[in-house]
Amino acid sequence: MDTFKGKKVFGGIAIASIFYYEKDQKEVARRKVSNTKAELERFETAKGEAAKQLQALYNKALKEVGEVNAQIFDVHLMMLEDDDYNESIVNIIESQEVNAEYAVAVTGDNFAEIFANMEDEYFKARSIDVKDISERIVRILTGSWAKEDLVEPCIIAAKDLAPSETVQMDKSKLLAFVTKEGSTNSHTAILARTMSIPALINVDIKKEWNGKTAIVDGYEGIIIVDPDSETLELYKKKKKQDEEQKRLLQDLKGKDTVTKSGRLIKLYANIGNVSDIGSVLKNDADGIGLFRSEFLYLEKDHFPTEEEQFTAYKQVAETMGDKKVIIRTLDIGADKQVHYFNLDKEENPAMGYRAIRICLTQTSIFKTQLRALFRASAFGNISIMYPMITSVEEVKAIKKIVEEVKAELDSIGVDYNTIEQGIMIETPAAAVISDLLAKEVDFFSIGTNDLTQYTLAIDRQNNRLDRFYNPHHESILRLINMVVENAHKEGIWAGICGELGADVELTERFLKMGIDELSVSPGMILPLRKVIREAE
């Protein structure tokens, strides 16, 4: 049993096997080996693991899509045991004295080409199958990952996770995150909070943890690898107690988020994609205060079409009914990179070509999203907010494009509702001129994550600076107070959608400032409702 300390991201307890994730290597390196017997053993072990994964996928498909559709995994299992296929791999390892993954990759390519050149359509189709099983074995041998490999609930251990990687994972299989790098303000950390799962960063993870049982204690900030039976039983009891505490909060469902003095606060949820709506409903949020629309772009390998976006926005709007759904327009750039945008490498991407700057430069991308949003507004209570605003001129440019989009929709007779439009206050510039900006928009949503990094001149992705990153800094709180006051002077509402909104140490201070809305991770809705209902 070994215990490793990390930095806490989200509380909770998870007990499961570790899935060690390593970024997929596109090319398999050829290495000379001195011990071919060891390589053959590595291959046999990997083949056995592949068989387990395929059997699990077959069982899952059998339940969900029926026997006919599940047969593909049965075919893969049979091909895994094909004599010619296995003999080729063994022969390459022994005769060329090379590593197992190279032998598997070469065999996969050779057999795929043989099948592809056959006249029979059935055998032609097997070309893709043999490539698939070969790639699966290579991933197991190299410790790399593909989203379909997650077949059982697990704890993900990784050097780091990019937003584009986490968004593709099967959320139902993730019980905890443990990473070596990252920061408490990274988007992976935000995802963990959105999913309400324990997460740690700055942990000295090891590749040999893969497959081992572990306990993640998000409250204490530790991971216990290979726990003994006594520790395992202790944490099973702790997990049960933790779940009981969460169950008691369920009594707050259906109750107003109102202070003792009778002041009603809007308590909304932050989400990343359509699949998060379940958590919003489960935790009884009053609405959605931040739908990060960029995750629609992160999970695709092409620009999402107007129709694809419309379908997603419409589904969220319809599911939430009369409750407000605030959708943030595209916020790509900085740590959220998408390959097909072809963004240049920047020295300081956090302050570079990102978010509204992309939208106002590449207006065709922006208009596609706006058309989808306005069309979806006919099916629910949608509001739009624009990120990374620094000037009144930007807001006026946005409004001009919006009018053009509405004129286009009017010309073809497409219905849409009157949409409340607001901006994110996440730059010091926007905070300082919030009195002017308040005249142009319907609401403010304060993005405290970026506002903090820009005000303190601290890169929130740099974990070496965590000791200097102080979201409670008086300058941040004064800026928030100023923004709220300027909003109210112009008769518009102001909320917080950054991580600071869930900081219960500041809740009473925010209430005294007159904040109208807090938008937080779904798992923080009920705990925060409890705090607000107990406040004066």
Architecture of domain 261-534: Alpha-Beta Barrel (3.20)
Domain 36-144: assigned CATH number: 1.10.274.10
pLDDT single digits (tens) 336-393: 666 677 777 767 777 777 889 989 999 999 999 999 999 999 999 999 999 999 999 9
**Domain extents in the chain:** 2-22+148-243, 36-144, 261-534
For residues 481 and 430, what is the distance between their CA atoms, to the nearest angstrom? 13
pLDDT value, residue 285: 93
Residue 534 pLDDT > 60: yes
Contact predicate 365/330, CB 8 Å = yes
Mean pLDDT in residue range 95-117: 90
User: What Å distances lie between residue 207 and 180, 198, 211, 218, 481, CA to CA?
Assistant: 11, 20, 10, 21, 47
Q: Both tokens of residue 145?
A: 């990952």
Percent of the chain having pLDDT more than 90? 53
pLDDT value, residue 66: 66
pLDDT single digits (tens) 211-264: 899 999 998 999 999 999 999 999 999 998 888 877 878 888 889 999 999 999
Angle, helices 36-80 vs 121-142, to 10°: value is 140
pLDDT-wise least confident of 101-115, 149-163, 219-233, 272-286: 149-163
Q: How confident is the model at residue 15 (pLDDT cuts 50, 70, 90)?
A: very high
Q: Which of 15-24, 296-305, 373-382 has maximum average pLDDT? A: 373-382
pLDDT value, residue 217: 94
Residue 199 pLDDT > 80: yes
pLDDT value, residue 448: 94
- Identify which of 89, 86, 96, 87 has the alpha carbon closest to the alpha carbon of residue 31: 96
pLDDT single digits (tens) 390-423: 999 999 999 999 999 999 999 999 999 999 999 9
The three-state (H, E, C) secondary structure of 58-99, written as one string: HHHHHHHHHHHHHHHHHHHHHHHCCHHHHHHHHHHHHHHCEC
Domains 2-22+148-243 and 36-144 share a fold: no
Q: What share of the chain is helix, strand, coil (3-state, %, to 5)?
A: 55, 15, 30
Mean pLDDT in residue range 132-154: 77
pLDDT value, residue 300: 72
Q: How confident is the model at residue 1 (pLDDT cuts 50, 70, 90)?
A: confident
Pairing of strands 266-271, 288-292: parallel
SS3 176: strand
Report the mean per-residue pLDDT for the chain: 87
pLDDT value, residue 415: 93
Residue 11 pLDDT > 90: no
Match 């919003």 to its residue by tokens: 280
Contact predicate 383/327, CB 8 Å = yes
Mean pLDDT in residue range 511-518: 96
Q: 0.75 exceeded by the pTM?
A: no
Domain 2-22+148-243: assigned CATH number: 3.50.30.10
- Please tell me which residue, 288 or 167, carries the higher pLDDT value: 288
pLDDT-wise least confident of 43-57, 68-82, 468-482, 484-498: 68-82
Residues classed as catalytic:
187, 497
Mean pLDDT in residue range 188-198: 77
DSSP states along 337-353:
--GGG-PPP-SSGGGSS
Q: Using CB atoms within 10 Å of the CB of residue 197, give its burial: 0 to 12 exposed, 13 to 18 middle, 19+ buried.
A: buried
For residues 428 and 389, what is the distance between their CA atoms, to the nearest angstrom? 10
Mean pLDDT in residue range 442-447: 97
pLDDT-wise least confident of 23-37, 42-56, 252-266: 23-37
Mean pLDDT in residue range 187-192: 71
pLDDT single digits (tens) 308-345: 999 999 999 999 999 999 999 998 766 666 667 777 77
pLDDT value, residue 119: 74
For residues 458 and 516, what is the distance between their CA atoms, to the nearest angstrom? 28
pLDDT value, residue 478: 97
Mean pLDDT in residue range 509-534: 93
